[in-house]
Chain A
Amino acid sequence: GQNIDQPTEMTATEGAIVQINCTYQTSGFNGLFWYQQHAGEAPTFLSYNVLDGLEEKGRFSSFLSRSKGYSYLLLKELQMKDSASYLCAVTDSNYQLIWGAGTKLIIKP
């Protein structure tokens, strides 16, 4: 079957750095997405990786290793507004997005 694993919840301190991991086992791979979802709101796009390596976008970076079925989202200089759930999603061989359950990130002052 298809499976995406992420930690359920993480806590970090304002101003610090946090890494959210995602491992996947899917039928094929055609790219990996990270989305942010604030409580009660819709998911919004953060990043897309299809080749191995690091993609940087301001305070957020996303890394992919296709051979290991592994990705992480790195958030730097954490702000209180970063408190949200972070969803990992993989495009499988049928070009369907398979979603992880999400990681709830709690930022403490």
Chain B
Amino acid sequence: NAGVTQTPKFRVLKTGQSMTLLCAQDMNHEYMYWYRQDPGMGLRLIHYSVGEGTTAKGEVPDGYNVSRLKKQNFLLGLESAAPSQTSVYFCASSPRGTGDYNEQFFGPGTRLTVL
């Protein structure tokens, strides 16, 4: 039981390049999330999904796109990377969104640097 996995673990991009971050969970969770974590700030929600085929915007969605074609996978895309997107990206999943079913399980993170 791997839980939540993310690939890659590290990446360096040049401004304007694109990339996709992959997240997979094997807990059959309905909800999945993408966060970014910057020094001195709380986790900020980029996009989330409440089920296969659905996505929604979070607090800081600009510059990112997502897709959830399969229940176990949640992809985060950067179409044209900018230095402001240098951050640590965490994927998380939860069984549902209510009560203690909102407990979120996190992947190990992706450290992205945009030069």
Contact = CB atoms under 8 A, between A and B. Distances in A.
A97 B104 contact: yes
Most buried by A among B90, B99, B102: B102
Given A33-B103, A91-B102, A101 B108 contact: no
- Counting contact residues on chain A (CB < 8 A from B), the size range is 20 to 34
Interface residues of B, number: 20
Nearest to B103: A45
Nearest to B44: A99
A42 B91 CA distance: 9
Contact of B107 (A4, A42, A87, A95): A42
B8 to A, nearest CB: 15
A96 interface: yes
Interface in A55-108: 87, 89, 91, 95-102
Interface string A32-55: 010000000111110010100000
Contact of B100 (A42, A50, A96, A102): A50
B114 interface: no
Most buried by B among A42, A91, A100: A42
13 contacts: A30-B99, A41-B108, A42-B90, A42-B106, A43-B90, A50-B99, A50-B100, A95-B98, A97-B45, A97-B102, A99-B43, A101-B40, A101-B42
